[in-house]
């Protein structure tokens, strides 16, 4: 099984690692609490990367899952682009993994952070045969006022907008390069157009499955698309100042001023709702959930590694 998974990951250009073996006595302590039926795919949000300069996007989270039996894949996704384009890239990699597994892999549990949640929603709608579940963490399903602010300050086609686009895409392309993603070119305007008020409404009209009908309600815990049942989950946080020790507190403290509801600095509490809402008010800002900056998160909240481990157990108990 291990060789199959490594070969599949290599074929798809994904990062995948399996539980480390720690010598003769390792089997005495092996645990499989997080060993889900279908592999877990951690789908990054904007500024997507797997590893840059030895720092993982999902800081220490894959290792925590793998230590308890999970098989985890991390796709290479464009730093800035629409969820549809990112989703098509993800589909390519999932297909390659499935083909290389010789029938051992049928579907995947997609867990998306931020825009990774919408990327996962796109995949489940256009290729439901690949998806067993979609879980979204801090994803702005009903848009983010930050996108409206950005498109308002630097409208596309204006001098300010052209300058913003050129600078942002240069940053995105650098992130892609450092993450060894040579396939994609950043498109910040395509990303922003999806998260402003109009773009978000259009995306949800096209892909309504799982989105709550009320302003701050829950969506269905399961949907069936083209005969394929898919379980749906979401969680988020409503804190911006969580440690006082890393730069993200100041950054998200400033961005939170654009909101009229509790938020994590990028995603509003109600906007994060999708499918079954596990919890929407963790003491976490937008990047605490993926254990950044470098593990500096609130001492008074569940560790991100534990949160993901608990969710893997939840998926396993659901037969996923």
Enumerate the active-site residues. 114, 264, 286
CA distances from 93 to 14, 43, 135 (A): 7, 12, 19
Q: State the Cα–Cα distance between residues 236 and 114, nearest whole angstrom.
A: 10
Is the CB of residue 304 less than 8 Å from the CB of residue 292? no
Q: State the Cα–Cα distance between residues 207 and 224, nearest whole angstrom.
A: 13
Dihedral, 309, 310, 313, 317 alpha carbons, nearest 10: -160
How many other CB atoms are there within 10 angstroms of residue 12's CB atom?
22
Give the helix/strand (H/E) hosting 106. Answer: none
Of 83, 92, 85, the closest CA to residue 73 belongs to 92
Q: State the Cα–Cα distance between residues 92 and 106, nearest whole angstrom.
A: 14
Q: Exposure of 213 by Cβ count < 10 A (0-12 exposed, 13-18 middle, 19+ buried)?
A: exposed
- What's the angle, vertex CA 126, arms to CA 200 and CA 212, rounded to 5? 40
CA distances from 218 to 86, 117, 124, 188, 273 (A): 26, 16, 18, 30, 6
Strand partners, 229: 224
Residue identified by tokens 């798809």 is: 12
Dihedral, 54, 56, 59, 60 alpha carbons, nearest 10: -70
Q: State the Cα–Cα distance between residues 309 and 32, nearest whole angstrom.
A: 11
């Amino acid at each position: 099984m291990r060789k199959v998974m490594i070969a599949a990951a290599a074929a798809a250009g994904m990062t995948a690692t399996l539980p480390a073996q720690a010598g003769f006595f390792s089997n005495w302590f092996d645990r499989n609490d997080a060993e889900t039926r279908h592999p877990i795919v951690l789908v990054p949000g904007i500024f997507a990367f797997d590893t840059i300069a030895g720092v993982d996007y999902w800081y220490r989270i894959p290792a925590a899952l793998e230590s308890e039996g999970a098989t985890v894949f991390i796709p290479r996704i464009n730093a800035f682009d629409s969820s549809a384009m990112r989703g098509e890239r993800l589909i390519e990699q999932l297909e390659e993994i499935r083909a290389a597994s010789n029938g051992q892999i049928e579907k995947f549990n997609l867990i998306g952070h931020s825009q990774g949640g919408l990327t996962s929603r796109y995949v489940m709608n256009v290729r439901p045969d690949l998806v067993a579940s979609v879980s979204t963490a801090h994803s702005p399903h009903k848009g983010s006022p930050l996108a409206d602010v950005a498109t308002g300050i630097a409208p596309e086609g204006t001098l300010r907008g052209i300058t913003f686009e050129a600078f942002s895409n240069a940053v995105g392309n650098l992130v892609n390069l450092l993450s060894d993603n040579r396939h994609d070119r950043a498109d910040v305007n395509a990303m922003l157009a999806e998260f402003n008020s109009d773009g978000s409404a259009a995306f949800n009209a096209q892909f309504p499955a799982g989105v709550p009908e009320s302003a701050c309600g829950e969506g269905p815990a399961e949907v069936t698309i083209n005969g394929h049942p898919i379980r749906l989950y979401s969680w988020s946080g409503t804190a911006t100042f969580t440690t006082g020790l890393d730069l993200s507190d100041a950054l998200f403290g400033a961005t939170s001023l654009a909101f009229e509801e509790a938020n994590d600095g990028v995603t509003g509490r109600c906007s994060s709702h999708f499918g079954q809402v596990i919890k929407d008010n963790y003491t976490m800002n937008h990047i605490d959930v993926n254990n950044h900056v470098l593990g500096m998160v609130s001492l008074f909240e569940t560790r991100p590694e534990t949160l993901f481990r608990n969710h893997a157990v939840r998926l396993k108990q659901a037969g996923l």
